[in-house]
Every structure is written in structure tokens, then in C-alpha cells.
Amino acid sequence: MDIPVKLAVIGCGNSATNIHLPALKKLVPKFSITQVCNHTQEKARIYAAACGPDVTLCTDYRDVLVNPNIDAVIIALPIELNYPVTRTALAAGKHVLVEKPIASTRVEAIEMVSLGRKYPTLVKMVAENFRYHQVILRIKQILDSGIIGIPYSVLWNRMSDVTPGSNRYAKTSWRLNHKHVGGFLTDGGVHNVSAIRLLFGDITDGTAVVKTINPAVGKMDTMTFMFSTATGVHGVLNSYYSSKGYVNHTLIISGTTGTIENTGNKIVIKTPASASVSTEESIENDGGHTAQLEDFYSAIRNGTKPKSTFKEGCTDFVTLVDAIEHANILPKLNL
């Protein structure tokens, strides 16, 4: 019989409403949402009502952390608050699932890993759903099967338009006026990096070109990142958040005997006609959000090691930060 984890949700915005709450409702009775917190009371009230009866609310996250009835917290706040709120939550003895990216700066991300070591009995996870994403996991199975031979190249295009008001993320003021390094490039890009690392190992080196096309969406919104991985795969990640009139989220993996193409929930395996292997799959998935919370529960109740640790989240974020901070820098050639 499942022993419910008494959970508090800190921050009742997009991620809490559209991602975590639907997944949590699938996992009753593993999780019992006991308290919710938001700096505006009305949003906290609406979220509490959506969670069900007997859910208390507050406007100061410190009221959550002194509540002895709370076992764990989901932190879904502006990214610059991840480090200070996580630090306080762990000090209060709460298990933590914090939204990605793990922190707002390289220094804070590394400090988060140190916090993890300081509290060995508490579960510390980053909400990086691509580590649980059914499509990504199926692609890994296909790669491991050897159907496309030895993978040697990956191209990932992530092209969309986040002009203010165009989608729910572009309506979030703290994303448009971001205090975290990289803006949308790190906020969204950590998904891609986590998947690349899952499929091909750590990114060992790379170079980036970064531009600002639309200043209204942050200090930078466009990046081409060329990289190599520990398994010898080279790749290009194009993250364009001001792409006008063209949307494309396509992953192409080239192997020595075939190619994998992924768009949305569809995976297409393409091989030469002589190999007689060309298949298409449509993967049912919720983006891995439910499996992520199941991992959080298992780590708390069963002592299992979670997949999306602070160390993994730090590596995802710092990989991008290093690329961005060293982008567009070429040595001067004196002839």
C-alpha cells in the first residue's frame, strides 16, 4: 500500500498548473497535496481549489517550510529563486523537486550540488522531464538496438516564436525580463542538453554563436551550438526563439547504417532500401512528467536513486552557460 507523501507546491504559475498538477492527479494516493503557496493570494486560492478539498494556502513560502505536516515541496518559481528557496527548504528538512534549470548562474548551480551533499538523507531532484520523456527513451532503445548502426551525428532544430503574448511562456514577465543567464536559451535548452547527454554521453567540447533578434524576449534569443560528445558523436543544436513564420522541432540522428527522425510524438527510422527497414512509430506520452514524479516518490519512500539529480541538472545548465558565455569569441589574428 502506498504511503502518501504530503506535498506542498511553492509557486502556482504555468509549470505548477499545466505540468505538475495533471501529473499529480494521476498519482493519488502516492502524493497528497496538503498546502500551496503563491505570492499573490488569489492565484494560490485558485490553485488550491483545483487541488481538492482541505488544501491550505499561504503567500510566504517560509510558512510552508515550518509546517510539520509537509514531507516534500515542488518549487516552481522564477529561476532566480531556485537556489535561495531550495537552500531554505533543505535546511527545513523537506525533500525537494525544483523546476529546471537548476539555478540562475553557474556559481549557484554548483552550489546546488554542494547543498545536495550537505543533506544526504533528503531527496533532491531537478524537474527535467526529458530524462523521463517516452519519445527520448524510445529513441535510446532504438539506438541501443543497433538498427541505424553507430550514431555519429545529431542535428536538433528548435525553432519557434516567443513574442510577448504569443504563448503561455511568453506571457511570463520574469522570463521576458530574465535574471538567469541565457534567458529562453537556457530555460528551454536544458531539455535538449539533457536528452543529448542521455543518448550520447556528456558534451565534451563545443562552440556557440549567439544573437539577439528580438530584445523584447530577453538579452538573447538565438543560438547555434556545435558540439562533440563523449561517445564521439558531433552535433548542432539550433535554438531560435524569434523564428518568424516557421516552427520546427525536429531531431535527426545519423548512424552508419540508417537515420532516426523525430518530430513531436513521431519517430521515423530510415535505412537504405537494401536493408528493408523503414518504420514509423507514434509514441503515446505525457512528456515524462508523471514518470518524473513517480521517480520522486520512489526516491522518498523506497530510497531509490533518482535519475534527475542536482548533479545532472547542474551539468545540463553549466554546459549551456559555458557555451553562451564563450560564444562569438574568436582569437584575433595578427598577420
pLDDT in tens, 60-110: 999 999 999 999 999 999 999 999 999 999 999 999 999 999 999 999 999
Residue 176's pLDDT is what? 87
Its pTM stands at 0.94
DSSP class of residue 201 equals -
Confidence of residue 332 (pLDDT cuts 50, 70, 90): low
Residue 2's pLDDT is what? 81
327: number of Cβ within 10 Å: 18
Phi (first) and psi of residue 167, to 5 degrees: -150, 175
Domains and CATH numbers, the chain: 5-128+290-308 (3.40.50.720), 133-287 (3.30.360.10)
User: Does residue 148 register a pLDDT over 70?
Assistant: yes
CA angle in degrees (0–180, nearest 5) for 313-44-31 = 55
Chain mean pLDDT for the chain: 94
User: Does residue 171 register a pLDDT over 80?
Assistant: no
Contact 281, 138 (CB under 8 A): yes
Amino acid identity for residue 152 in this structure: Y
Residue 329's pLDDT is what? 72
User: Does residue 291 register a pLDDT over 90?
Assistant: yes
Residue 158's pLDDT is what? 97
pLDDT in tens, 216-275: 998 899 999 999 999 999 999 999 999 999 999 999 999 999 999 999 999 999 988 655
Residue 335's pLDDT is what? 65
